[in-house]
């Protein structure tokens, strides 16, 4: 077989298809690059790894830019990955896959494909998620649920540590300042907690007896149909933090939650977790997560 001519023909066909049928250009790209990758794999078995460099020079000379050694290598990796994964999402573009192909862990690869599909992530958004090690910051229990396709909860997708963008480079961090930093980019903060969150309010006022109390952040998760109380602490986790957030959660359940909504969960975001305290917390709706300013 003349591998070079086969590869060249498929690439030319793809160029023509994208010009005539713009609506199907993404599928054409993915199909073409998979087939080119397969041919490159077969050619490599016969002629060695140097064949990619040789074909890159010839294709660039005959067809123009876009066929660098790196691009052909990505097509090869795309083919190899698809063989391992069996099926890949046609919803993602070739540019998405170029970001993903550096990921060696199949479970991590699958995770990012899934969130791209569910949240319609742009290539730039995907790049940020990968750079921030989003999958790696999930709890092991959550990872196992995803691998085994088990039912997940709202808490499974809360990252640890939670990355918070300190855009204005505040140096002295108090609880008030931490809250301000979050509110300056609350959308990114909610994405760190997972998907389907909406913002209800900060310093949310509640009345307990004759005294007013203020919940740092009150959110709602549409997918899991529950309120989420968030308390911010710039110290390590303390036992009194557990009691405080539990009171707030019970208040929301009694006064805001309707009968068809799930129970409120609580997230304590602190400078340093204390697993010994959480070990003796009997309320499994409460979660402690560390934060990291970037």
Q: Give residue limits of the domains in the chain.
A: 3-136, 152-293
Model's pTM, two decimal places? 0.83
For residue 83 the two structure tokens come to: 């063989």
Kindly report each contact of residues 120-125 with a partner whose C-beta sits within 8 Å and lies 24 or more positions away, as own/partner. 121/96, 123/93, 123/95, 123/96, 123/99
Residue 26 pLDDT = 84
How far is Cα of residue 95 from the mean position of the Cα atoms in its chain? 17
| Average pLDDT, 10 consecutive residues per value, the chain (294 residues) | 88 81 75 94 87 94 92 95 79 94 92 92 95 95 93 93 93 94 95 94 96 98 97 97 97 96 97 92 95 94
Residue 152 pLDDT = 92
- CA–CA gap between residue 270 and residue 240 (Å, rounded): 13
Could you say which of 3.30.70.120, 3.30.530.20, 3.40.1350.10, 3.50.50.60 is the CATH number of the domain covering 152-293? 3.40.1350.10
Residue 60 pLDDT = 94
Residue 4 pLDDT = 86
- CA–CA gap between residue 52 and residue 42 (Å, rounded): 11
Residue 19 pLDDT = 72
Kindly report each contact of residues 60-67 with a partner whose C-beta sits within 8 Å and lies 24 or more positions away, as own/partner. 62/8, 63/8, 63/11, 63/12, 63/15, 67/11
């Amino acid at each position: 077989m003349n591998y070079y001519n086969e590869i060249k023909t498929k690439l030319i066909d793809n160029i023509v298809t994208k010009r005539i049928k713009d609506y199907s250009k993404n599928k054409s790209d993915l199909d073409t690059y998979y087939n080119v990758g397969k041919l490159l794999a077969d050619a490599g078995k016969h002629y060695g790894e140097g064949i990619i460099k040789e074909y890159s020079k010839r294709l660039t000379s005959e067809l123009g830019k876009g066929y660098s050694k790196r691009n052909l290598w990505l097509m090869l990796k795309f083919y190899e990955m698809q063989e391992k994964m069996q099926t890949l999402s046609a919803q993602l573009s070739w540019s998405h896959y170029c970001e993903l192909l550096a990921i060696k862990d199949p479970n991590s690869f699958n995770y990012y494909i899934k969130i791209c599909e569910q949240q319609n992530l742009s290539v730039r958004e995907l790049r940020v998620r990968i750079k921030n090690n989003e999958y790696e910051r999930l709890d092991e229990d959550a990872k196992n649920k995803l691998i085994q396709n088990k039912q997940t909860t709202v808490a499974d997708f809360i990252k640890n540590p939670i990355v918070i963008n300190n855009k204005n480079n505040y140096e002295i961090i108090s609880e008030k300042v931490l809250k301000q930093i979050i509110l300056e980019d609350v959308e990114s903060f909610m994405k760190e907690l997972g998907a389907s969150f909406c913002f209800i309010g900060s310093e949310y006022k509640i009345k307990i007896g004759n005294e007013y109390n203020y919940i740092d952040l009150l959110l709602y998760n549409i997918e899991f149909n529950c309120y989420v109380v968030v308390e911010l602490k710039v110290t390590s986790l303390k036992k009194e933090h557990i009691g405080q957030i539990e009171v707030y959660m019970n208040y929301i359940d009694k006064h805001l939650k309707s009968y068809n909504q799930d129970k409120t969960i609580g997230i304590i975001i602190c400078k340093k977790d204390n697993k010994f305290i959480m070990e003796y917390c009997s309320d499994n709706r409460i979660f402690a997560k560390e934060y990291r300013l970037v």
